[in-house]
Structure 1
Amino acid sequence: MNYRHAFHAGNFADLVKHAALLHLLARLTEGAPLSVIDTHAGRGLYDLEGLEAKKSGEAEAGIGRLMAASDAPAAFAPLTAAVGKLNGGGGVSRYPGSPWLIAEAIRPADSYLACELRPEEHSALGEALKGRRNVRTRCADGYEAAEIAIPQSGKALVLIDPPFERADDYARCVDAAAAILARNPDAVLMIWLPLKDLATFDSFLGDLEDATSAPLLVAETRIRPLTDPMKMNGCALVFVNAPAGLQGPVEDACRWTATALGQGGEARVYQA
């Protein structure tokens, strides 16, 4: 696998994903302890001054524009606060991946398992999260680890965010979701996917609906019309067992991203 998120950290898709993740965590870190599992954690922190980020320019067009925007909705406030905290209130030279955001958001009674298959990325992940007593990292296949580690009862959140370099990633997402929900029917899942063409995405949704009877909330952020399946034309989030109150802020984040950062973009948020 050649995917390196350092080229894409802080791009439009990260903005949507991480804004939604923080709102989800805010709702789930109330009351009973929460178990969080991240199947494709990455390295945890990203250097936006590095060669990869500078070469792609995606962070400048994403988090750079968000931090400078005067019209961004309140849905982005938790994310911009987290990015500001990480950077000491100055310019944006570092961007937090999901592991850093999760580790910062959970409580002492909660737990977090971050899985990363690539040894060099896992090493960096361990360094980024070191010293946190309720956090574990594992150099392992995240799909398999989540199916084993998911608690059979209690509150649980599983983030499934593969790079989609492998042809079977769509099928493995569905299989993992079904296995996780078979063990813990009340688990909350957040699945991130690229949007290239509707046929692929609709097929995934159909397979997921066939695999589970749990309610689905779907959020599509299209930064351009879905006319060229060779391009990443947007991204989608699929929530399983989404908590009440999540749809509003997710829709606000998707709509701003699609219109402010896209070209002929649009957003769709709906119950499937």
Structure 2
Amino acid sequence: MNYRHAFHAGNFADLVKHAALLRLLSELTAEGGPLTVIDTHAGRGLYDLAGPEARKSGEAEAGIVRLMRAGDAPAEFASLKRSVLALNRGGEVRRYPGSPWLIAEALRPGDRYLACELRKEEHDALRATLKERPQARTLNADGYAAAPAEAPPNGRVLVLIDPPFEKPDDYERIVDALVAVRRRNPAAQALVWLPIKDLETLDAFLRDLEDEVDAPMLVAETRVKPLSDPMKMNGCALVLVGGPDLSGPLAEICGWVAQALGAGGGARVYPLTPQ
């Protein structure tokens, strides 16, 4: 597998995912008992935007760098911007926080975080990134299998699923993992990130979710360009499974990214009703 998120860190899709994740974590940690977060595809947790991968792609320049300079971004991006400012000490944006960094920062002392990463070199970097976070644990393993095995059968659980989508069975394995996690803990919630290349692939996945997962679901689509080339990532989608109603915040996040960072795209947020 040759995917490395270092090429894509801080791009438009990261802005959508991370702003939404931080808003969700804010809701879940505002009240209630201990929270367990399981991240199935954690990556290395912290990215060098001055490195050769990020500089080659230029995606961060078109994403997080533009967000940090924007004066019209909605308040839903404030938490992400604060994290980026803190990492870069208010100067030029050279480092970008991945989901592990953001999750570890957001959790309370009694919460727990399991970050799974299959690639050994990425896991080694992840472990170094989180070494001073006492509530965090890393696992060099297949996150799809680890999530149901590690999910506590009781209590509050959030599963973040954000695979690289390099394998043809990723969509099927997401559904299988969600079914297995909720079989173990029926109250488990999830946030799933997906690329949008063509609507048929996304719609087929959503139909499978409706058929297999018995939970309220909210879909947020962000399209930064017309869906004219199914070989390219024309946008991204988030599916919130069993979580709080974030339709308003997600509409603000997706709408701003589509309008400010896209060309000819659009955004929409809508519920899914399980069959």
Q: Do they superpose with TM above 0.5?
A: yes
State the 1:226 CA deviation. 1.1
CA distance in 2, matches of 1:247, 1:271: 9
Aligned length: 271
With structure 1 as the length reference, what TM-score do the two structures score?
Answer: 0.99
Q: What's 1:98 paired with?
A: 99
Q: How does 1:12-31 map to 2 (within 5 A)?
A: 12-29=12-29, 30-31=31-32
Counterpart residue number, 2:237:
236
Residue segments in structure 2 that go unaligned for 5+ positions in a row? none
The percent identity for this pair of structures is: 68
Q: Give the CA deviation at 1:102.
A: 0.3
Give 1:227 shift. 1.7
Q: Which residue matches 1:85?
A: 86
Counterpart mapping for 1:1-272 below 5 A: 1-29=1-29, 30-244=31-245, 246-272=246-272
Structure 1 residue 31: Cα displacement: 2.1
Between the aligned partners of 1:185 and 1:259, the Cα distance in structure 2 is 37
Cα deviation for residue 267 of structure 1 reads 0.2
* Runs of at least 4 residues off by over 6 Å: none
Once the two structures are TM-superposed, the CA of residue 250 in structure 1 deviates from its matched residue by: 1.3
Q: Describe the SS at the equivalent of 1:250.
A: helix
Q: How many angstroms apart in 2 are the aligned matches of 1:75 and 1:47?
A: 24
Displacement, 1:225?
Answer: 1.3
Q: Given residue 198 of structure 1, which amino acid in structure 2 is its aligned partner? A: L
Cα distance in 1 for residues equivalent to 2:70 and 2:97: 19
CA separation in 2, counterparts of 1:68 and 1:205? Answer: 35
Deviations along 1:173-199, one digit per CA (max 9) or x if unpaired, are 010011111111111100000000011
CA distance in 2 between counterparts of 1:65 and 1:165 reads 28
| Partners of 1:178 and 1:225 in 2: CA distance | 33
C-alpha displacement of 1:64: 0.4
Q: Which amino acid in 2 is paired with 1:132?
A: R
Whole-angstrom CA distance in 1 between matches of 2:271 and 2:243? 10
Q: Distance in 1 between matches of 2:62 and 2:213?
A: 37
How far apart, CA to CA, are the structure 1 residues paired with 2:166 and 2:98? 19
**Residue identity opposite 2:111 in structure 1:** D
Amino acid of the structure 1 residue aligned with 2:122: E
CA distance in 1: counterparts of 2:160 and 2:117, whole angstroms: 12
Q: CA deviation at 1:86?
A: 1.1
For residue 36 of structure 2, give the secondary structure of its aligned residue in structure 1. Answer: strand
Please state whether the residue corresponding to 2:62 is helix, strand or coil.
helix
